[in-house]
Structure formats: C-alpha cells, structure tokens
Chains A and B, each alone.
Chain A
Amino acid sequence: MVHKSADKKLLSELRSFLGDRARDGDFELGLYAKDGSVLKGDPMIVCLPTSTEEVQQIILACRRYDRPFLARGSGTGLAGGAVPVGDPVVIATAKMNKILDIDIDNRIAWVEPGVLNLDLSRELSPLGFHFAPDPSSQQVCSIGGNVANNSGGPHCLAYGVTSAHVAAIEVVLPDGRVALLGDLTAESPGYDLRGLFIGSEGTMGVATKVAVRLTPNPPEVRTLLLDFADVRDGAAAVSSIIANGLIPAALEMMDQRAIEIVEAFVNAGYPTEADAVLLVELDGLPGGVEHGVEVVRAVANRHQVGSVRVAADDAERALLWKGRKNAFGAVARIKPDYYLHDTVVPRGKLVEVLEKVYQIADAYDLIAVNVFHAGDGNLHPILAYDSEEKGVLERVQAAGRAIVTASIEAGGVLSGEHGIGLEKRDYMGMLFSAHDMATQDLVREAFDPDGFANPLKVLPSGSRCSDSFGQHVPDGAWV
C-alpha cells in the first residue's frame, strides 16, 4: 500500500484513467516483487495498461511525480531485469496481449508486447509460419520480454536471436514521446535505433507494439537423440558437427544428472545410463536434412556414440523436446530450488568449462545439472539447492560468480540470452573496460538522461560516462 501523500496522489491520478488496473494491494505488489531470479524488489504501484496511450499516460504521470518505472512482461527473466528497485511503478504488459495484424505478404506480424511467444507461433502455424526465437520458457514468456532481453532459444543456432526477427518496435520513450524504431523496409533510414533498443532490458523505454518477422515452417524436420558414455565425446561431437559444415536447427546437450531427472519426469525413453545426450534437430528441404542426418551419424560414430535414435514421427519428436524444455522444472525432483546460470564459451572450450562447473559445484557443496545449447556454446548450469538450508544462497551466489569467471577466462561472455539485469550488473567489468561501459552509458543516456526507465540495471554504479571522458584521464589509461 502506498503511504506517502505524493504517492497517494500519483495512485489516484493513475486510477483516474486506469480504474482498478492501477493497484497497490500488498498481495498484488508481492506478485511483482520478483522475476524468475532469486532477487526481490519493492514495487510501489502496479499498472495494467491496455494501450499505447495508457502506457504513455502512466509514464507522464511518473515523470510528474518523479517516480521511476519498470516494464514487465511475464516475469520469467532470470537475471533480475524485471525486479523493481528504487520503488518504481511497474507497468505490466499482461493485458496488452493482442496479435494486431498478420501480414503474410510482408512476412510480418504486428503484436502487442504481452503476447506470449508460443501463442504467436501457434497462431501462425496454420499459415505455414512461426516466430523463430523459442526460449525454453516460450509457453509463458512474452514477446515484449523477448525484445527486452534479445532472447534466444534452441533454434537460434540456425535462425539467430530476437534482434534478427524484429523489424520495428513502437516504443513509449522515458520522456513520454512515442517513437517507431525501425520500419518494415530492409534499410530503414538513419541509425539502427531498433537494434540498440532490443536487448536494452527496458532501460530505453517501453515497447508497446512489435513487428516480428515470420519464418516459414520447414518442409522436413528430423530430430535425433545421441547418447555418449563420456560427456567429453559428446562435446567433441558438437564441435565436429559444426566443423563439418553443418549448422543444425538445434543442438542441445544434457549431462547425466539432467537425463536422469528429465526421464523420471517425462518418460521419453532417454538413456539414463548415458553420461551425456545430444538432441540434434535438422530442418529444411528433404535432401539437405537427409545429408545432415548422415553427417551427424558419421561424426557421432567417430566420437564413440552409444546409439542414435531418430524420432519416428511428430509425437516422438515432441516427446524428446518435452524432456529438454521441461528440464528446469524437473530439477524440483532433487531439490526445491534452483539457480539457473547462463554464460557462453567457445564451443571448443565446452568440456573444459563443464569440468570446472562440476568442480565449483563440489567446492560449494551444491548439485550441478547441465542442460544447454551446446551448438552455440551457451551453457546453462543449474545449481540445485534447498533455500531452507542456512547460508545456502551465499554459496549459490559465490559458485555463480566462479562459473562466470571460469567462462570469461575461457574466452566467453557474461550472458548468452538471459541478460545482465541486476544479477550480472557488477560482473560487467569482467568483460568491459570502464571506458567501454561509460560509452554504453552514453548511449543509454541518449534515450533516458534522467534514469527513469528501469533504473540501476545493466551497468554497474560508478560506470557513468562522466567518469572516463573528462580531461583528467591520463593518456592511454583506458585503451
């Protein structure tokens, strides 16, 4: 509940046009205090707008009362990007969930930000198209959230991440103006503001309409499950498949513990005795798919594959994918809580970093489960734990930092698809110099000089641009 008189005035102003879609009940606020991460924030008011105009009015009201705001999709983000800090007004896009127009001739769909990823692809399917990014959370994550995080998913290996699949975005800027970033042409004039906005985690404004590109459904799809007695062979097979000039539609890996948990959960016939499995999907025209299957078989044989199972039909394929996409939920079978990490390393370093992940988990007395996008080197170590255990969160966080450090040391990056948010904000200095971050802040500032949009995310405090552009910087200090 809001208490201060200025906040009460803001609430009543918001209610004047939102009615009961501006809320401050303690139960309601509690729902918006967290996202998919373990971090917790403090929302002041939650708004559920239904139109661009309402989003604009909310932002203008926030500006009048000097209140930051934060857009939120489904809250499935894992880096704390949607965790409200600094007592912001939460702008939840859940009620902006209409597919506005499907334009087959332009291969574009205009959607509102609250449309769920899988709902969109289901709607497009009878027309022969889909939206290519497919995060594991696709049943519940929103397109607006995908834009904010430049989301990926298993099929991004061949099709690319969200940025490649969004043509234009209508945005309410942090000063309340409405802008259309990008357009439906292939070369929109001026600088690529669209590309900059995607992945900016809500710090440059609130997306209110998104023009997504439609990808034709492949005429042929083949899904293979390969098992290996040694995870090192599985990882070597991943590099070898790619080095053989094949980019599968998806190339996913699960380690032994993940296989066991998933199999108990979905009964897909995963080989529980294997040290690792690869889930490989090939799609496209029949000849290319057939050729791909042969390449995968040949490579797998060279790397001591146990067996190669080819899904016989759509039902079996769906079952294999069900195991992969529900792996995180299945972890609850061993521990009630989990912390899901997200780093990327060169494919050639997968084994080395995986071994480090196991060592780190052992050192902190945690259980590590690995289910990940092996094809693009995107690791997702899951640290399973019981939050009732005293001091366990500190161990989980320390282990997380060690995993990120190991990934960076192997030539990797901080995040493949979950973003920086709050979770990795203070790790940015592992990858970027102070001057790099100051330059990023300059760019953010061009959109939001006063820091009203999702404050305190992405860049660590102290990385403000003024720090490194002044005359006092000695020569070569930050080169």
Chain B
Amino acid sequence: MYSSNEIIETINMVSHQHLDVRTITLGISLFDCITDDKKRTCDKVYDKIMYKAKDLVKIGQDISNEIGVPIVNKRVSVTPISLIAAASKGHLELIKVLDKAANEIGIDFLGGYSALVHKEMTPYEKEFILSIPQALAATSKICSSINVATTKAGINMDAIKLMGQVIKDTAYLTKDNDSIGCAKLVVFANAVEDNPFMAGAFLGTGEGDTVVNVGVSGPGVVKTALESVDGDLTQVAECIKQTAFKITRVGQLVAKEASRRLNASTGIVDLSLAPTPVVGDSVAHILEEIGLEQVGGFGTTATLAMLNDAVKKGGIMACSSVGGLSGAFIPVSEDIGMIHGVESGCLTLEKLEAMTAVCSVGLDMFAVPGDTSAEVLSAIIADEIAIGVVNQKTTAVRVIPVYGKKAGEYAEFGGLLGRAPILNINTASPAKFINRGGRIPAPLHSFKN
C-alpha cells in the first residue's frame, strides 16, 4: 500500500504540475479499404474509421474521469494514404472523407496523409506529395508526414528538394493564419510506425488492424521534482528517472485500459516529455533548473542529453512496450522556455540543431521569415535528416516559413501549437547542392549484416 503523501503527490502532479496524458492515438489500418475505384475506396475508409473510432472520444473522457488525470487529445492515425490511394488515385477525394470522419467523431487530429519515399518516389507518390499544400489548406485536423530518408536507404534528395517547395506552397495557401498549414506537416528521417504524436503520426505497414498508442507528458512534474535536488548530476539523473517512471506508469495504465475498451491491441507508450505553451509545462525550464541561465547557452546539449536518457531509463521499466519517438520534445512555439530563449537571442537555429542530435525528435515548430527560399528550406531539412541518418535515430523537421512576416515578428497559432518568434536565419545559398538531386548513399555503419 502507498502512503497519504504519495496520494497527495499524485493529486498535486495533476492540479499544480500539469501532469497529463497528451494523447490516446488509435491506429487504424486501411489496407482492407484499397480498391481501384475512388468512390468505393472513400466509402470503405469512412465506414471503417467511423466504426472503429466512434467511441474513442467518450472512452478517453471516461478513463480520464475515473483516474483523475486529464487526457488532452484523442487522435487517430491511419495507414499512409499514398499507399491506400495509389490504386484509385483518389487522394483528393479521400482527404475530404478523412476530414469529415475526424469532425464527426470529435477527435483532435487525424494523421496519415503520408508517403514513405526514403529511397525513391514513384510518379504517383510525387503527385501525392504535390497535393499536400492543398490538402492541408482545405482541412483543419488532418496531418501529413513524409519519410525522406532512412539509415538503411540513405537520403532521398529529390524528395527533400520537393519538400522545400511543398512547405513554401503550404505556407502561402494558409497565409491568412500565419501559415499554420506547415504546423501540420513533418519531414522525417527514420520515421517510426507507432508514433502517437502529431503531426507525424501514421500507422506503419507492419502494424495490426487497430492499435492504441499513448503519449504521456509532464515536464512540470520533472521540474518540480528537481527543485528539491541539491546534489550532483548523478542525483539529478536519478530524480528524473524516478519521476519519469511515475509519469509513464500513468500512460501504461491508460494504454491498457483504452485498448481493452476499444477492442484494439495495446501498442506502445511513447516515453515523452511534451511541453505546452503554459507556464510550468516547459522542457527548457527543466534544463534551466539543472543549472543553465537560459536554454540555448553552452551546456544545453549536455543537459538535454542527460534528461533524454534519464527519461528513457525511468520510463522503460514502467511499461511493457515502449516506442514512438520517446524522449524530450523541444518544439519552439509550444514551450514557453524555448520561446524566451529565442526572444533573448540565446537560442539560435544552429544550437537547436545541435540539441536535436541528442533528443527525441528534431527541429520542431520553429518559424523562419516568409521569404526564405525553397532551397534554404530544403537544406535545413537535409542537415537535420543527415543527423538522424548518421546517428541511426528518428529526426524530423517541422518548419513554418511565415508568409509575409520577417525575423523578430511572431506567428500566432494558439492552443497547443502556441506562438513562434520568427528566427533570423543564415541565407547563404545551397541552391547548387539542392538542385543536384539524387540520393545521398546510406552511411557505412548501416551495413550491419
């Protein structure tokens, strides 16, 4: 049995430290919906999503009430639509159906308007990718992701070149809302198949029919726990581990129970520290609590590396199956500490890139001037993707070139997406490199057979 203090600790984590389960994401395989007829494919996709996910929101709410921990988002991820629509070429019709289903079920996001082109693109996949700006501008809940590289296949530079332009086009089509379409578009290296987090969630081809993946959160809980640690860094790491264990256990409980009630298999718990823009829910503030004056200064990469590692070590024993992106997230616009770092000039894009080498995702939710060229965007992506490919980890880029705005201004997204100060970036031209196209071969250490 546990003590009164432990019960109070749990209650305080929720009421004062923003402990929450960030998302229950129900993965739904759409392979059995493939036909060569647009209308029939759309009907089958709509029916399957409506049938499998109809109770998702209610079940999430019920579990939240019973355990007394908020479950912030209820989401659906589906098999990459480029695979489902390839036979019928009906992706533009499908996007409407997906949006309709998402709105009717009442979920927060639906991910999977995706393509896996890490080695090459088929002509249809190219057509599909070019439809992304239109798809994201016409919908509000649909998220898109493209895998452009893996450690095994190398880096598809043709796809990266294309994505630079696709991101610019998306920014233009959603210019009335500070180019918010780009916040729903992720470019990946080594994309994972069981990610519950948006915008990069899709259900991988190796997954089952319906599967529940859960992402937990709680940077505020870790920061509060660290406030009482005066010891050395070994003790700091130990404190993070113990706290991560408790946070992740909540995710495990929710994943088990949600999958039972949804009659789906229990997938993974994503061992994540995901910030929100509110005060007291910041990953950057954990690093500052460890001992930095401000995030972005020297010491940031080392403290982040330790935090990320300790979160995994604590979380991995707390659940039976871990996966997804697992680690600390450092999205700029969604973390008040990161926003302040950029505002003061302490956190630059170059330092952010270094941080991504040791933590879970990548260059996330950062805004650049609207007149940034497509080639520079592609090169930002190429650099980040190279970090993932060489280090055999997932990395991603979610960049918002805010149409009509300059460095120093703000992009305002609201809600979980927050607000992003627009970074001043290096604009030296990488055009010749990007326009060469082709593929950067897989690194030597990928040949392990």
A-B complex is real: no
